[in-house]
Amino acid sequence: MNLPNKLTIFRIILIPFFILVLAVPGFSGSFLIAGTQVGDARLIATLIFIVASLTDFLDGQIARRQHLVTNFGKFADPLADKMLVMTAFIFLVQLGETPAWVIAIIVCRELAVTGLRLIIVENNGEVIAAAWPGKIKTTTQMLAIILLFLNNVFFAAINLPLDQIMLYICLFFTIYSGIDYFVKNRSVFADSF
């Protein structure tokens, strides 16, 4: 197994640790960062999330530079991203940091695009790689999640709700990239009309 695929698997392995830190009671302290309180669990979960997010960036860079792009990577990399991001967003709803309707749209888009990818694999025998709108979507989602988990720590002092702004930017790119995937692959449904 090549290094990019190992990084993808490592990202998937980090997800249960991310969940445990947030779900298991016991992390009750908090840190003061830039004048804003951040709970222990949220800080540890955010650090795990950042490490997992960095593996997403690294696996893609290494795979393209060293010509190690595989069907497993094209399949598992976006799946690992979706699992990580959807898990984080579900916890953010539970914590009252995000409106459920925003996350419902994001989850529905992720499931719809995953379904589209499965149909394309079945019909064409090929796995479609993430397109640029999808990569921008993932990046904005990850940035929004980090800011939301850290209580907008670096921007609270200047009263700039960048965490909420990023949430709606990622919602825009989530919708846009979903439409882009379906428009570019509409031929898959040609026999339905």
Distance CA 151, CA 119 (A): 39
Please choose, from the candidates 93, 84, 92, the residue with its C-alpha nearest in 3D space to the C-alpha of residue 17.
Answer: 84
- Write out the two tokens for 178: 């979903």
Tell me the two tokens of residue 185. Answer: 């692959």
Q: Can you list the domains of the chain with their CATH numbers?
A: 3-187 (1.20.120.1760)
Residues 11, 4: Cα–Cα separation, whole Å = 11
Structure tokens at 110: 């992720």
Copy the structure tokens of residue 58. Answer: 């690294």
In this prediction, residue 36 carries a pLDDT of 47
Rounded Cα–Cα distance for residues 159 and 121 (Å): 47
CA 185/CA 187 separation, integer angstroms? 5
**Three-state SS for 125?**
coil
Amino acid at 155: F
CA distance 109 to 164: 20
Question: What pLDDT, in 10s, does the model give residues 107-154?
Answer: 999 999 988 888 887 777 776 767 789 889 999 999 999 999 998 777
| Residues in the chain where the model's pLDDT stays below 70 | 25-39, 127, 129, 192-193
Q: What is the DSSP letter of 189?
A: G
Query: Is the CB of residue 138 less than 8 Å from the CB of residue 85?
Result: yes
At 146 the pLDDT is 95
Residues 6+ apart with CB under 8 A from 162: 147, 152, 154, 155
What pLDDT, on the 0 to 100 scale, is given for residue 14?
Answer: 96
Confidence (pLDDT) at 193? 64
Token pair recorded at residue 19:
């969940």
A 10 A CB-CB count for 101 gives 10
Return the pLDDT at 56.
86
The predicted structure's pLDDT at residue 75: 80
